Amino acid sequence: MARWTHDQVQAAAPDAASLTAARKLAHPGPWRETGCTDSLVWGQCQGSGKKPYQVSIDVLAPAYRCSCPSRKFPCKHGLALLMLWSDGVLDESGQVAEHAGEWAAGRAAKVAAQADREARADAPTAPVDEQARARRVAERLARMDAGVEDLRLWLEDLVRGGLASARRQGHGWWDGAAARLVDAQVPGLAERVRRLGDLAARPDWDETLLPEVGRLWTVTAAWLGRDALSPEEQAEVRVAVGWALPSAEVRDADSRPGPWTVLGAHRSDDGTLQSQRTWLRHGDGEVVQVLDFAGQGQSLAVPQLSGAVIDVEVARYPGLPPRRALFVDLPTSVGVAARADAAESASTIAALVAAAGESLAAAPWRTRVPALLGAVRPAPADADHRRWQLVDADGAAVPLVAGPELWSLVALTGGRPADVFGEWGGHQFLPLTVWSDDGAVPL
């Protein structure tokens, strides 16, 4: 396993504050009994207390453990240790520390136990009462149909009264409509209605509110006409209304072994829910998206490193490509993808627009299309350099999302052409990874 670069260590940080704190510890002074193997990195960091913190890192998974009270993964001690490992400071000749060895053995035991539980779950069980199950499904469908029909009437009243009038309503008005949808067991639609209330309060409501109302209307039309759709289209509508498919069913239905290349990842936090999107590509070009969520007080799954080639079996949800997926087992890094590997599947901006059109035609409520754009360069779109765009060799351009990713992209490329992976949101492109001659660099 090659040592991580500092860019890869930075990409593993849960937030900027942890990274800043880690840099203050990334020197041999506070550390003792450090070491590394091909898969493990360990050490002890002296903090303010009497006992030093014990840090263990599996760089293949990756996974982290630290005896400090932080709930972040990795914490500042883990990040600092990774920085020392990246710099080649750690000894590779010593014996694995006891605390690191016990932790690694425990993780291996958990994986074995999980496999045993899955094997027992596959064993024959008592027969399912199919009639009772069908009755429950029919009852839920009737409740959902009634809720969706009620939403259609509400949307008609909303448009008939005018969006300018609706935006004068308080949040309670929007929340009341969303609550009725929760009662009808269509939480995905409830969340979209709440989003309408947020959009109505924005200064640019006249540009954003109507398109979102239109997307919501297409979901209701698709749900009520679902019998005429293909199984893949029905699966997309089911996700849109919020009828979740149990992960156990996904694991048993459609899985595919690796290796997979990590194209890029993005984290977001709305204050109540954290989410993480990880885009993977198989050798034949198939792209899937792994979604992770965490509520307040919970931790997201450890992010995979952009550019890493991971050996993992991926189970795919039913639906249209690019499909959602989940990891069947723990990912193991088996290498790093080169820029040449990425360039083979890079596309132009014209191809991105065409792919976005096909995605919109198949599922109008989708808002993200992944794309690896080849030889594109960031350039200012106005004289004040407030708006930026990506320009390809043909002169085609797409606007860039303003944010830290934009400025990292500008700094890394210096305005020169590079291969960039990101998400097209319909109006702007969010860059997630830059592919250079040295490999992938997350933004």
**Same domain membership, residue 109 and residue 186:** no
Residue 176 lies in a domain: yes
What CATH number corresponds to the domain at position 263?
2.40.50
Nearest alpha-carbon partner for 150 in 106, 200, 190, 108: 190
Distance CA 78, CA 405 (A): 24
pLDDT beyond 80 at 118: no
Tokens describing residue 402: 């303003």
**Same domain membership, residue 115 and residue 11:** yes
**Same domain membership, residue 11 and residue 99:** yes
The last residue of a domain, from among 304, 337, 370: 337
Residue 129 lies in a domain: no
pTM to 2 decimal places: 0.73
User: For position 330, what pLDDT does the model report?
Assistant: 80
Residue 124 lies in a domain: no
Residue 1 lies in a domain: no
User: For position 306, what pLDDT does the model report?
Assistant: 86
pLDDT beyond 80 at 338: no
State how many domains the chain has: 4
Q: What is the mean pLDDT of residues 365-373?
A: 89
**Same domain membership, residue 393 and residue 326:** no
User: Each residue of 214-228: b (16+ CB within 10 Å) or e?
Assistant: ebbbebbebbeeeee
Residue 132, φ and ψ in degrees, nearest 5: -65, -40
pLDDT beyond 60 at 360: yes
The last residue of a domain, from among 337, 360, 392: 337
User: For position 2, what pLDDT does the model report?
Assistant: 67
**Same domain membership, residue 294 and residue 201:** no
User: For position 153, what pLDDT does the model report?
Assistant: 93
The last residue of a domain, from among 85, 119, 153: 119
**Same domain membership, residue 161 and residue 76:** no
Distance CA 401, CA 428 (A): 6
Distance CA 296, CA 273 (A): 7
Distance CA 389, CA 378 (A): 6
pLDDT beyond 60 at 427: yes
**Same domain membership, residue 176 and residue 75:** no
Res. 302 pLDDT band, cuts 50 70 90: confident
**Same domain membership, residue 205 and residue 169:** yes
Residue 128 lies in a domain: no
Q: What is the mean pLDDT of residues 352-372?
A: 89
**Same domain membership, residue 157 and residue 227:** yes
Domain that holds residue 271: 247-337
Q: Match 């794309």 to its residue by tokens.
A: 371
Residue 127 lies in a domain: no
**Same domain membership, residue 78 and residue 19:** yes
Q: What is the mean pLDDT of residues 215-232?
A: 92
Residue 364 lies in a domain: yes
Distance CA 61, CA 291 (A): 17
Residue 126 lies in a domain: no
**Same domain membership, residue 345 and residue 327:** no
**Same domain membership, residue 160 and residue 173:** yes
